[in-house]
Structures are given as C-alpha cells and as structure tokens.
Amino acid sequence: MKAGLVQQQSQTMRLTKELTQAIEILQYTAGELQEFLKKQALENPLMDVKDYKIYNRKTSSNWESYVTKPQSLYDELRQQLYDLHINDVCKEIVEYLIEELDRDGYLRTSEKQLCKRLRVNEEELGKAIVTLQSFEPAGVGARTLNECLMLQLQRKQLLVPTLKELLTTYFDLYVKKQWHELSKRLNIELSVIQNIHDVIKKLDPRPGLQFETASPYIIPDLYIEKAEDGLHVTLNDMLTPRITLNKELYEQYKQVEDTHTRQFVSTCVKRYRWLTYSLQQRHEMMVSVMLEILQQQPYFIDEGFERLKPLTMSMVANKLGVHESTISRTVRGKYVQTPFGTIELRKFFSNAVPGLRDDVSSQQVKHLLTQLIEKENKQKPMSDANLVKELKNRYDITVSRRTIAKYRDSLRIPAAYMRRQF
C-alpha cells in the first residue's frame, strides 16, 4: 500500500467522504465489514454483497460449529465514540487512546509520550482523556488505581470530599490498611473508615475485564503457511466479504434517458469502484503488516512467544512507509492462524523491558513467567523474589521483583500464597 491513508488524513483538514470510508474499512473486523457493506448495498442498488462462510479452508461445517469473538472492550468503546458528536480532532485522539488501553481498561502510556506520538498539545490530549473517561464502563481510561476508583465514585455521585482526600492524598495508607493513621489524618472515626472501605470494596479496580469472555473458537483473518521458498501469508478467503456489480440491473438503468437517473447510476458505479479499491487496499495492508511482523520476528514461527523480540507499531510503520495509526487500525481485532494457535495481531507488539538487552521483550518475559509458574511445585509456589532468581538463572534475564508483580498481575496470576495447594 502506497503512502498510507492516514498520512493523507493528516495532510488535510477536511477529509473527503471516500477517504473517511477507506480509513473505516481498514480497521473493521470481518463481521463489522460485512455489516458495513450490507448498509452500503441498501444505498446502492447496483451493488450486491456475498456473505462470507464461517468455516475454514480445510474442513467445512455449519454456522454453529464456530463462534466469533464476542464484543470486546475496544469494540464497545469505539461504538460509544462513533455515537458521540465531537470534533474530528478530538475523535481521532480518543480513537488512538482506546487502542492504548490495556486489558484492565487503564491508560498506562504517559501524557508526554502521547502528545509526542499524536503531535497534539496537552490541552487537546486532556479533553480527549476526559471524553474517554466519560464512557462505560465507569473507570475506563484511568491512569492509576485511585483515579479509576474516583471515576466510579464520581459516576455514582458518591465522591464526597473525605473520600476524595483519602484517594488522592492518603491512598498509600489505605492500601496498607493503616486504619488508625487514616483516622487521625482525616479526623474521622474508625467506623467511618469502615464505611468508606465497604463502599470502595464494591468498586471494580479492573473495569476492562468486564468484557473478557471465553470464546470457543476465533476465526482467523490470516493464515501463515510454510513453503519451500519461505513463509506465505494468505487471507482467509472464506471470511472475506465480496461485492459485485449487478450487471443486469446496470444495463437496464443505462437504457433510461432521464438525466437524474443517469447521474444516480454514475454515482452508484463510482461508489462501487471506490469500495472495491478500498477493500483491496485493506487486504493488501493486512498481508503486508503480517509479513513485516514475521520479518521482524524471525524466530517466532519455530519457537513461539518465547523468542518474541521487542517490536512496536511505529517500527512496522516505518518499514512500510505508513503512519503508525495505519498499523494500529490494520491489526485491530484481526487474528492469524499460526503453529501455536490463532493469535491476535496485537500480541506480536511489545516494548523492550527497561534495563534489559534490546532483544528481550515484555511478551517474552511474560511467556517465560507463565511457564515457570505452570511448572512450579504447587505445595511450595515460588514467590516473586524466587521468580526473579529463576529468570536470571535459567534465561539470564534480570528483572526487578516489582516488574514480576506487575506482569503477574497483568496475566491475572495470583500471588504465591494464593496459588498454594494443600
């Protein structure tokens, strides 16, 4: 794909309807694309949409045999964004922020980094963050745990001054359960502290997980296949919606002499051709991105996540000559079938672990951490300190105990004392 669509977007203040449409098509999942094309067909009598079939290339089956991935946090937030009437600049920033959220619904990237990436000022970013934090579920878009709790209390109209002071000034005392000290600092009775604690316990510290639902089968958009001349990446053609021009109806319309009808037919044909072009661009970009990922991750296909290197979307964008947001849209909600299962394209991207050599990614450390815990003695599970030692001794990877705790929490793995089996 030449000079990405989003590069054109940043060069003009007013997007044409066609360009906006092309950008939307790039980020749609197969299901969303199918619905979008059906709506287009309702407006364009010359265009027919062929439904995709839910089965893979090797074994056919009926619809019930396969289930697509349910609505995710990102899909839900994006839908709320589309229904919102705000200016285009703010909408673009919020859309990017949604992609930056982790699975818990938190915005972990610093404001300084976001301003630099998006080339916006602090005021524009601040407005976008406030907009995101107004979405459901309450607490989404928070930068910290105490902010997440405050957003939920605010939504419930329970953020009284005492609660706000506790969560902003004395949150460390609350986390450490230093009730008597809290009582002194806030000048309130212990019974009030207990009431506050009861309120906070009912809040959700990880609002994004509300959308995590097990899916028996995720249909891949792409396939990776080994061949004598290397790796091949192909589209799942059974999942790819197709559009065709109704030639019979087109010929009938051509016979009409009415000027208005002829103009209408001409517009319909142009829309069909533009959609055909946009779909082709979408498919080419998906394959190009996957090929570049494999180029950057040469050991993955044989050794899996254990050998994933640090890789950012900006690195792939630079190689393909497009904007980083183009890559973000392309991988959004897309899956690839690999020898290690069907994997979301986002999983191939991760930053280097601070303080480690450049070839060690956070995904790699998380994978090794998961393996160590799966194989540990269940009667004597390893503490975070012991996991630090094991990573160093077995893989020559040095990380802090704090990093281990952070990764363990992101993987939803409980602490050692909670993993112990009697």
Are residues 207 and 218 located together in one domain of the fold? no
* Highest-scoring range by mean pLDDT, 11-25, 380-394, 406-420: 380-394
Handedness of CA 253, 259, 261, 264 (dihedral sign): positive
Average pLDDT over residues 82-104: 89
In terms of pLDDT, which residue wins out, 37 or 306?
37
Residues 6+ apart with CB under 8 A from 264: none
Spatial distance between the Cα atoms of 305 and 361, rounded to a whole number of angstroms: 10
300-347 residue pLDDT tens: 888 777 777 888 899 999 999 999 989 999 999 899 998 888 889 988
DSSP category for residue 268: H
Are residues 247 and 304 located together in one domain of the fold? yes
Are residues 268 and 305 located together in one domain of the fold? yes
Domain boundary among 296, 327, 349: 349
Average pLDDT over residues 129-156: 94
Are residues 324 and 220 located together in one domain of the fold? yes
Mean per-residue pLDDT over the chain, rounded: 82
pLDDT at res. 189: 92
Are residues 203 and 81 located together in one domain of the fold? yes
272-289 residue pLDDT tens: 999 999 999 999 999 999
53-82 residue pLDDT tens: 543 444 444 333 344 445 688 888 988 998
pLDDT at res. 55: 39
Average pLDDT over residues 2-14: 41
pLDDT at res. 408: 87
pLDDT at res. 126: 93
Spatial distance between the Cα atoms of 159 and 198, rounded to a whole number of angstroms: 14
* Residue pair 167/149 in contact by the 8 Å Cβ criterion: yes
Are residues 205 and 219 located together in one domain of the fold? no
**384: domain CATH number?**
1.10.10
Are residues 130 and 204 located together in one domain of the fold? yes
pLDDT at res. 162: 92
Are residues 78 and 157 located together in one domain of the fold? yes
Instruction: State yes or no: pLDDT of 23 exceeds 60.
Output: yes
Are residues 80 and 192 located together in one domain of the fold? yes
pLDDT at res. 17: 65
Q: Domains in the chain: how many in total?
A: 3
170-208 residue pLDDT tens: 998 888 888 899 999 999 998 898 899 889 988 998 898
Range of the domain at 375: 352-419
Instruction: State yes or no: pLDDT of 236 exceeds 60.
Output: yes
* Residue pair 397/360 in contact by the 8 Å Cβ criterion: yes
**pTM given for the model:** 0.53
pLDDT at res. 53: 52
Are residues 238 and 338 located together in one domain of the fold? yes
DSSP string, 181-204: HHHHHHT--HHHHHHHHHHHHTS-
Average pLDDT over residues 90-112: 90
Domain boundary among 188, 212, 236: 212
- Share of the chain residues as helix, strand and coil, in percent rounded to the nearest 5: 55, 10, 35
pLDDT at res. 285: 94
* Residue pair 353/403 in contact by the 8 Å Cβ criterion: yes
Q: Which amino acid is at 118?
A: L
Task: State the pLDDT confidence band at 359, using cuts at 50, 70 and 90.
Answer: low
Are residues 52 and 80 located together in one domain of the fold? no
Share of the chain above pLDDT 70, in %: 86
Instruction: Give burial (CB, 10 Å; 0-12/13-18/19+) of 55.
Output: middle
Domain boundary among 212, 228, 247: 212
Are residues 364 and 342 located together in one domain of the fold? no
